[in-house]
């Protein structure tokens, strides 16, 4: 008896709705086209991949101009601030002719946008097949951030972040492994006690 379960046809519209349950930030991926002009495309498929080497990924629709533009090309992932909705729309195929786009064009490397919450400048690493998208991996070479609220996207709507629910403890390197900040303080206390140093002020 054949017990293999035939894959059920996926309702693409419904799948899109399901995927929209996952909140993301909003980025504009910027690059130079073959004529040297600065270009950008709004993308929320951005994700971190690796720390060593430092790799990030964006999933780019094959029909997007950015698909050709990003192949073997340096790019910058611009993480938009909550007040940059106009840029998100502009680079998502709704060009606004009256919008003045603030470009920063470094002498070396891809162009980027001004006023963003953060940016990561990448050199091309590798592209992979991703069905009707290509998965573009970049190696982060430079990055910076400003303390701005990010723009977010959830259920097909642009939003700004809500309430902070829990302040997680910071992690620090401890014996070469990541640990909560309080763990290293406790360890320092025991180390001092073991060494018989009990009058040393603990700098915590
Ligand atoms: C919130 C949001 C997120 C998007 N994310 C992606 C994405 O991850 N990948 C992609 O290929 N297109 C994405 N798009 C659609 C592109 O921004 C859109 O197709 C754009 O016109 C592509 O520009 P281009 O053809 O000039 O490259 C997104 C659009 C919006 C509004």
Instruction: List, for residues 58-84, the tens digit of each pLDDT value.
Output: 999 999 999 999 999 999 999 999 999
Quote the tokens at residue 75. 């790019």
More confident residue, 93 or 194: 93
Backbone torsion region of residue 48, taken as left when φ is above 0, otherwise alpha when ψ lies between -120 and 50, otherwise beta:
beta
Would the pTM count as exceeding 0.85? no
As a whole number, mean pLDDT of residues 36-63 equals 98
Q: Does residue 93 have its Cβ closer than 6 Å to ligand 1?
A: yes
pLDDT, residue 162, reads 86
Query: In this structure, is the dihedral angle defined by the CA atoms of residues 28, 58, 68 and 11, taken in order, positive or negative?
Result: negative
Distance CA 85, CA 158 (A): 8
**SS3 string of 119-146?**
EEEEEEEEEEEECCEEEEEEEEEEEEEC
CA–CA dist 45, 120 (Å, integer): 15
64 ligand 1 Cβ < 6 A: yes
**Ligand 1: residue whose CA is nearest its atom 28:** 43
Ligand 1: residue whose CA is nearest its atom 12: 43
User: Using a 6 Å cutoff on CB, does residue 59 contact ligand 1?
Assistant: yes
> 12-159: what fold?
Pnp Oxidase; Chain A (2.30.110)
Q: Minimal CA–CA distance to 113: which of 86, 82, 87, 142?
A: 87
pLDDT tens string 121-159: 999 999 999 999 999 999 999 999 999 999 999 999 999
CA of 50 to the centre of ligand 1 (A): 23
Q: Which residues pair with 126 in a beta bridge?
A: 137
- For residue 193, pLDDT over 90 is answered with no
Radius of gyration of the chain (CA): 22
| Mean pLDDT on 78-99 | 97
């Amino acid at each position: 008896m054949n017990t293999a379960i035939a894959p059920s046809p996926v309702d693409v519209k419904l799948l899109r709705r399901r995927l929209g349950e996952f909140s993301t930030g909003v980025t504009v991926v910027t690059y130079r086209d073959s004529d040297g002009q600065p270009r950008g495309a709004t993308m929320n498929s951005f994700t971190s991949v690796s720390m060593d080497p430092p790799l990030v990924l964006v999933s780019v629709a094959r029909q997007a101009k950015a698909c050709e533009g990003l192949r073997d090309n340096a790019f910058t992932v611009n993480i938009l601030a909550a007040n940059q909705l106009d840029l998100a729309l502009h680079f998502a195929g709704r060009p606004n002719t009256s919008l003045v786009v603030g470009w920063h064009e470094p002498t070396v490397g891809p162009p980027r946008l001004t006023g963003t919450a953060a940016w990561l400048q990448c050199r091309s690493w590798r592209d992979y097949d991703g069905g009707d998208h290509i998965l573009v991996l970049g190696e982060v070479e430079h990055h910076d951030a400003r303390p701005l609220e990010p723009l977010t996207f959830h259920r097909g709507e642009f939003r700004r972040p809500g309430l902070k629910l829990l302040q997680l403890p910071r992690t620090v390197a401890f014996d070469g492994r990541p640990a909560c900040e309080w763990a290293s303080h406790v360890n320092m206390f025991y180390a001092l006690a073991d060494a018989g140093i009990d009058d040393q002020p603990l700098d915590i």
